[in-house]
Amino acid sequence: MTFQKLLTDHYKNRLWLVVLTALGSLIHYVLIPALFLGGYKVSVVTEGNKLLTVKDAMQIAGAEWFNFSLIFGMLEIILLAAITGIQEFSYLYKNNSVDFYDSQPVAFRSRFIINYASGIIMFAVIYAIGMIFGLAVITACGSGCPALYTGILESYLWFLILYAGIYSFAVLGAVVSGNLFIAFLAGCFISGIEFLFRIIIFGGMAQYFTTMYHIADSEIIRPRSLPLAWYFSYIGDVLSADVDKMEFVTAIPKAFISSGKGMAVCLVVACIACTLAYVAFINRPREAVEKGLCFPILESFVKISLGILGGILTGTISDMIFSSVFSFSVMTFVVIAVVIALICLVGEWIFSLNITKVFNKVWQIPLCIIAAFAVIIIFKQDAFGYDSYVPGVDQIESFALYTQDNYSYSIITTDEEGRGINQDREEYLRNNLSLTDAADVVEVAKIGMKERRKLFGRDSTDFSRPQSWSVTVLYRMKNGRQIWRQMEIPYDIDHAPMDNIIGSNEYKDVYFDLNKTIEGLKDAVSFDTKGRLSLSYNTAQNNETASAEIDDVKALFKAYEKDLNKYDFSYSQGNVCIGTVDVNFAPVSQGMSAENLYRTLPVYEGYDNTIKALKEKGLFLDPLPDIENVSFVIAQYDKVNENGELERSETARYDEKDKISELLDSADINCYGDWSRYSYSMEDISAIVLSEEEIAEAGDTDDPDYYWNHDIGSTYTIRKENIPDFVKTDLGL
Amino acid sequence: MIEIKQVSKAFDGVKAVDGLSMSMNEKEVFGLLGTNGAGKTTLLRMMTGILKADSGKITIDEKEVYDNPKAKELFFFIPDDVYYFPLAKPKDMAEHYKGIYQNFSVEYFNEMMERFGLDRNRRVNTFSKGMKKQLAVILALSAQTKYLFCDETFDGLDPVIRQATKSLIAQAMEDRGLTTVLTSHNLRELEDVCDHIGLLHQGGVLLSKDIEDLKIGVQKLQVVYEDENDSQNVELQMEILDHKRQGRLHVYTVRQTPAELDDLFGKVKTVLYEILPLTLEEIFISETEVVGYDISKIINRSL
């Protein structure tokens, strides 16, 4: 019988699969777009100041359907691929069908090829036909445009690759199993084991390694062998485009090109799975009908893998619950042993389908316990030196270093199309900060890593509040690797290496890239001419805001750049950050709105040019009030216990100018720019400063709550170490 | 010719077939006999290339069977539990086999379906068990293969159909030299069709002989001596497999030809001397008792 005849014969006897696939294709490419787009009502819409045409609006609707189809399509494909993959080889689960097929004059190789290929060909052909209908539907609905046409073609290719990957996993699961239930579990195991491994190891690292930087190192979790993970990256790029701004026109083809590597990896993975499935099929003992897995060694592999991973996960959680992360806990050991025993016994029960055989191969239990515990010990003891790792100077290509203690979470910049966007500060620094002073970063890192271990790790002896900055470092190595660490730079670190890093032009040009902010604002303003651009100046107590033009921002930034020449680490330590200047753009477009853009810059007391520019704009506020204008000051101390409950409250009022002066001198006016020292203490006090005008308006009372509740006066914090002696006496400190 | 050489097969450590050697000649009906668990089905599944032997070799016309389409083209296998495509009709199954077996005869298939009164256009899943087996035999014979392997095929068939099926097979043997291998645990089932019997027990061959050789070699006779003293002398000259006595009536089962017995008893005065026809069952009992097996515990004596 020719291949074609065998294939035709094959489909005739699996018509329901063909029908199911055709149904999926029909729903995906015809029914949903027809319902979605056919009933779409176009209302008058604006994009910025531009009135969109009906054609644009329908294309946007088409793009919305396309985005939905990527997610819905993924679910369809998972279902179809899994069902088809298992079904194609389900004849292996009954003796009568095995006898029927295997006694026929068809080579096992041919049988595998026919059964495997039929699933792929069926999907490819049916979905291709569906896709053609889909193109016709969106054209008929008026949503057709080159981006969507190519997007549909490209997504079809992705669907095919995703299907091939999941299908191959399902086939592999089917041919190594003796029944449907085990085939389903095997497919899940094959698909998920890498992800499970990664997430458990990541969890362990996150718990036991104090210098691990969780956000960036979450890349560890992403499974490389799972086609779905690569597909998520592709659709993530597509879905992140703003449909209303018609960004899909460039985003769709770009996402496809960027996903080239992912597609290649998925194809390779599918090929590997297919090859393994072929080898398993050829060597499969046909008497394995209704058994668990066909190869006993596979059963052991599955049980041991799950036992060890389950043990590590259990140990990690147990250490967290019993607070024994860096110590030995008998309870953790017991819990690990119990969980592993359960996994192995239940696993044996599932494979043998016979509860009387659960104690077969009990040797696997102690093996898993020892292995899991060994991994936990490796984590606890940091046997591979993760928490003390600092690369060699000559291994580093470049690095990024920045503090986590920061006032600003976003930076105004532009995307690849020149559109003004708010970019996450960390993401921006990660992608753009590229420093080359490797010697200094190594020196700083050695200190920082040790401090981190001392404060949070296994060497921890000091449980008081950290006197350090949380800092993230990214090493870009010469061998292409990227290594992240979290560390604590102590307040009393030697300034020299920090000055070399923070004071370098490499650092400041990126960290304070004001040109990018101007470009972003320009784009936003031109896109939404009715949007509101403003400048604000903020002190610890007050703020002043004024609307602005681009030129105002440029002028201010020009002054700021001059002041930046002074800035380095030592400068930040020796000068107080007396305020922050905020640039804000608020769009007013309805519907398809431009993004709200926001950036904050620190102003130090020595930033003469910036302060002058602010004064010219009428924004500058003195950090402290004029003493002549102060009526009185109320000092207040609230003692709270460990539970946060107020134990006692003491107040003292000062009308004398000399005392007022001393109090104002002691007040903390720090607005906390980068590298500011945080030294909050429970013994800090508050000082409410009331001006003459405020008293005239509100009235005179000694009750600080009155002023606090009515937002009258300016409240300052006086740090414990700066409290004047007379205040200490009066408040009983 | 089918050659089985030192074939073994174990399942979970339990030997289903243990060092079994046997050969099956062409144009014969070979019966494989044994109780459940004797290894009949396992052996047959190895012969049809479904199971792979742990050791040993099975060849059909000098071609090893396992995963060899050239060897598998030579036979058609009817298992005990026949599989049909879900929702298939007999004509669909015929269409399928036509693509698999080059010599499949649709005319023969149609003719047999009509003769047996089976509807080609009716779904097979609506057939009774007996009708499904009939269909299986028709499809097998329509494939026109050189060998036919049947695993307990006649079980479940009514006597009329069973006879009709046997005659079909016999006709095929005569017309085109079909070689048939049948398994059963019913000795009477095989008695009237088989040329050669192989008796399996616990994975091994207990006995493998042509039926004619079995019958020629063993005789059953009833004797009443005129002078009882003559019996001792006569018994010394016979190879006695079994001897029962009821009063003066002696019933012997002996390994002797009829001519030898005629010659021997011609010299003795007897009141009664008669050679009786032996059933296959009796032959087996005699043969296996010699080797120390109580065959009655092995074979099924059901009618």
- The residue of chain A nearest to residue B85, with distances taken between CA atoms, is A13
pLDDT tens-digit series, residues A685-710 = 888 888 888 888 777 776 777 777 77
Q: How far apart are CA A475 and CA A484, in angstroms?
A: 6
Distance from CA of B268 to the nearest CA of A (A): 60
Task: Determine contact, residues A207/A326, Cβ cutoff 8 Å.
Answer: no
Q: Rounded to an integer, what distance in angstroms lies between the CA atom of residue A373 and that of residue A365? A: 12
The string of DSSP letters for A246-280 reads: TTHHHHHHHHHHHTHHHHHHHHHHHHHHHHHHHHH
Neighbours of B25 (CB within 10 A): 12
Average pLDDT over residues A446-453: 92
B48–chain A Cβ distance below 8 A for any pair: yes
Radius of gyration in angstroms for the set of CA atoms belonging to chain A, rounded to a whole number: 33
Tell me which residue has tokens 């914090």: A717
Residue of B nearest to A105 (CA): B69
Q: Which of A8, A15, A99, A110 to mutate to test the interface with B (most CBs of B within 10 A)?
A: A99
Segment B22-28 shows an average pLDDT of: 89
Torsion angle of C-alpha atoms A583, A588, A593, A594, degrees rounded to 10: -30
A146-175 helix and A260-283 helix, angle to the nearest 10 degrees: 20
CB A52 within 8 A of CB A46: yes
Give the SS3 label for residue A656.
Answer: coil
- How far apart (Å, rounded) are the C-alpha atoms in residues A98 and A134? 40
Overall average pLDDT of the B98-110 stretch:
93
Separation CA A256–CA A252 (nearest Å): 6
Q: What is the pLDDT of residues A213-268, one digit of tens each?
A: 877 666 788 888 999 999 998 998 899 887 777 778 888 888 888 889 999 999 99
Q: Output the average pLDDT for chain B.
A: 87
**Contact between A512 and A601 (Cβ < 8 Å):** yes
Contact between chains at B100 and A104 (C-beta distance less than 8 A): yes
Taking alpha carbons only, the member of B10, B8, B50, B12 closest to residue B205 is B8
| CA-closest candidate to residue A447, choices A400, A488, A387 | A488
User: If we measure between CA atoms, which residue out of A247, A246, A256, A254 comes closest to residue A59?
Assistant: A246
Report d(CA A99, CA A96) in Å as an integer: 5
Q: Which residue has the tokens 């998520």?
A: A232
Cα–Cα distance measured from residue A403 to residue B145, given in angstroms and rounded to the nearest whole number: 83
- The predicted pLDDT at position A405 comes to 64
Average pLDDT, chain A: 88
Q: Is the ipTM of this complex over 0.90?
A: no
User: Do A285 and B50 count as a contact with CB atoms less than 8 A apart?
Assistant: no
Tell me the two tokens of residue A273: 């799975």
Closest residue on chain B to A104 (Cα): B72
Residue B30 pLDDT class (50, 70, 90 cuts): very high
Residue B77's pLDDT band, with cuts at 50, 70 and 90, is very high
The CA distance from A393 to A435, in Å, is: 13
Greatest C-alpha distance within chain A: 110
Rounded mean pLDDT, B82-95? 93
More confidently predicted of A43 and B207: B207
Residue B99: which of A9, A98, A286 has the nearest Cβ? A9
> Among A82-91, A253-262, A669-678, B286-295, which is the least confidently predicted range?
B286-295
Residues of chain B neighbouring A286 (CB-CB closer than 8 A)? 45, 50-52
Q: Are A44 and A51 in contact (CB under 8 A)?
A: yes
CA dihedral A199, A205, A207, A213 (to 10 degrees): -100
* Helix, strand, or coil (residue B64): strand
pLDDT of B302 higher than 50: no
Other Cβ atoms less than 10 A from the Cβ of B81: the count is 14
- CA B212 from chain centre, in angstroms, equals 14
Asked whether the beta carbons of residue B50 and residue A96 sit closer than 8 angstroms, the reply is no
Write down the pLDDT at residue B303.
37
**What percent of chain B is predicted at pLDDT more than 90?**
46
Given this model, what pLDDT does residue A462 score? 59
Instruction: Give the Cα separation of A612 and A618 in Å (integer).
Output: 10
Asked if residues B278 and B285 have their Cβ atoms less than 8 Å apart, the reply is no
Q: Which residues of A touch B (CB under 8 A)?
A: 1, 5-6, 9, 12-13, 94-100, 102-108, 110, 282, 285-287
Picking from B100, B102, B152 by the largest number of A CB atoms within 10 A of its own CB, the best residue to mutate is B100
The residue type at B34: G
Q: Is the pLDDT of residue A194 over 90?
A: yes
Question: Once rounded to an integer, what is the mean pLDDT over residues A586-593?
Answer: 64
CA distance B292 to chain A (A): 33
- In this predicted structure, the answer to whether residue A172 has a pLDDT above a threshold of 90 is yes
Report which listed range, A344-358, A464-478, B27-41, is most confident: A344-358
Cα dist. A413→A138, A249, A416, A588 in Å?
36, 22, 10, 20
pLDDT value for A640? 81
Which pLDDT value is given to residue A463?
59
pLDDT, one tens digit per residue, over A652-664 is 889 898 999 988 8
User: Do you know the residue count of chain A?
Assistant: 733
Burial B261-291 (b: 16+ CB within 10 A, else e): beebbeebebeebeeeebebbbbbbbbbeee
Across A103-112, A554-563, A623-632, least confident range: A623-632
Q: What pLDDT score does A420 carry?
A: 78
- pLDDT at A49 > cutoff 60: no
Chain B residues lying within 8 Å of A106, measured CB to CB:
69, 72, 100
pLDDT at A592 over 80: no
Q: Which of A221, A169, A220, A174 is nearest to A190 (CA)?
A: A169
- Decide if pLDDT at A610 tops 90: yes
pLDDT band at A21 (very low <50, low <70, confident <90, very high): very high
pLDDT at residue number A719: 86
Q: How far apart are the first and last CA of chain A?
A: 99
The phi, psi pair for B287, rounded to 5°, reads -60, -40
Q: What is the SS3 assignment for B194? A: coil
> Comparing A103-112, A368-377, A438-447, A710-719, which segment has the lowest mean pLDDT?
A710-719
Average pLDDT over residues A37-62: 70
For the residues B141-165, what does the mean pLDDT come to?
86
Nearest CA distance, A359 vs chain B (angstrom)? 16
- Identity of the amino acid at A644: G
Cα(A683)–Cα(A717) distance, rounded to whole angstroms? 11
Q: A4-8, A101-105, B38-42, B188-192: which has the minimum mean pLDDT? A: B188-192
B100 near B90, Cβ under 8 Å? Answer: no
**C-alpha distance from A304 to closest chain B C-alpha (Å):** 21
Q: How far is CA A129 from CA A79, A135, A158, A664, in A?
A: 19, 10, 16, 79
Closest CA to A251 of A151, A355, A378: A151
| Per-position DSSP letters for A540-556, written without gaps between them | SS-EEEEE--HHHHHHH
pLDDT bucket at B301, cuts 50 / 70 / 90: very low
Mean pLDDT over residues A56-85, rounded?
92
Cβ-proximal residues to A167 (8 Å cutoff; 6+ apart), any chain: A81, A82, A84, A85, A119, A120, A123, A270
pLDDT tens digits, A389-439: 999 999 999 999 988 766 566 778 777 777 777 888 888 888 889 999 899
Interface membership of B159 toward A (CB under 8 Å): no
Task: State whether A1 and B82 contact (CB < 8 Å).
Answer: no
Q: How high is the pLDDT of residue A665?
A: 87
Asked if the C-beta of B39 comes within 8 angstroms of chain A's C-beta atoms, the answer is no
Residue pLDDT, tens place only, A302-353: 999 999 999 999 999 988 888 777 777 788 889 999 999 999 999 999 998 8
pLDDT digits (tens, 9 = 90+) for B190-228: 777 888 888 887 788 877 888 877 777 788 899 999 999
Distance CA A285, CA A287 (A): 5
Copy the structure tokens of residue A78: 């998972």
What pLDDT band is residue B141 in, cutting at 50, 70 and 90? very high
Q: In the predicted model, what is the mean pLDDT of residues A104-131?
A: 95
Q: Which residue has the higher pLDDT, A136 or A461?
A: A136
Q: Rounded CA gap, B255 and B278, in Å?
A: 12
**From B11, B50, B99, residue closest to A103, measured CB to CB:** B50
- Nearest Cβ partner for B81 among A6, A95, A285: A95
Query: pLDDT tens-digit profile of A523-573?
Result: 888 877 788 899 999 887 788 899 999 999 999 999 999 999 999 999 988
Q: How close, in Å, is residue B155 to chain A by CA atoms?
A: 16
DSSP string, A477-508: ETTS-EEEEEEEEETT--HHHHHHHHTSHHHH
How would you list the strands of the sheet with A396-403, edge to edge? A396-403, A468-477, A482-490
Assign B22 to helix, strand or coil. Answer: strand
**Per the CB < 8 Å rule, is A13 touching B88?**
yes
Predicted pLDDT of residue A461:
62
Q: B282 to chain A nearest CA, in Å?
A: 35
DSSP A445: H
